[in-house]
């Protein structure tokens, strides 16, 4: 089991092309931890905006009567991937991991796999 700080460090150092990562409570919109980011990626703005994305998708699924779970949400930009992984392990519902990747330096399939592994080891 790893804590939030270790999970964020693993994502930033172990996922090729990682630009920034955050653990977010989408009920409150509060980031429980962030790492990375910079002048081109304001993680405070990104976590707040992605909280709205997650809330909208959860609400839409409820209105559609879909009895399924969201694994992740992918937003593809010209130069970046933004990956949102909703946490389902143990008592982590209401949380998501947000990962921004440099599109030219990352492998999306591998990033998804590594984020899923980090989720499985995360103990909050």
Q: In CATH, what number is assigned to the domain containing residue 85?
A: 3.30.450.30
Q: Whole domain around residue 34: which residue ranges?
A: 4-121
Residue 36's closest CA among 97, 89, 85, 91? Answer: 97
Do 58 and 68 touch, CB atoms closer than 8 A?
no
What are the tokens at 44? Answer: 């405070």
Instruction: Specify the number of domains making up the chain.
Output: 1
Q: What is the mean pLDDT of residues 32-38?
A: 94
Do 18 and 101 touch, CB atoms closer than 8 A?
yes
Percent of the chain scoring above 90 in pLDDT: 81
pLDDT (tens digit per residue) in 61-94: 999 999 898 999 999 999 999 999 999 865 557 8
The alpha carbon of 4 is separated from its chain's Cα centroid by a whole number of angstroms, namely 13
Distance CA 103, CA 79 (A): 5
Q: What is the mean pLDDT of residues 104-114?
A: 96
Strands (DSSP E) contained in the chain are: 18-25, 30-36, 72-76, 80-86, 95-102
């Amino acid at each position: 089991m790893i804590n939030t700080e270790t999970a964020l460090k693993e994502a930033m150092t172990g996922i090729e092309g990682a630009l920034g990562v955050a653990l977010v409570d989408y009920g409150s919109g509060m980031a429980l931890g962030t790492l990375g980011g910079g002048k081109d990626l304001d993680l405070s703005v990104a976590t707040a905006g992605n909280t709205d994305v997650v809330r909208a998708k959860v609400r839409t699924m409820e209105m559609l009567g879909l009895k399924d779970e969201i694994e992740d949400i992918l937003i593809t930009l010209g130069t970046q991937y933004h990956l949102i992984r909703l946490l389902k392990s143990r008592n982590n519902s209401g949380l998501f991991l947000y990962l921004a990747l440099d599109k030219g330096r990352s492998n999306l399939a591998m990033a998804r796999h590594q984020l899923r592994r980090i989720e499985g080891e995360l103990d909050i």
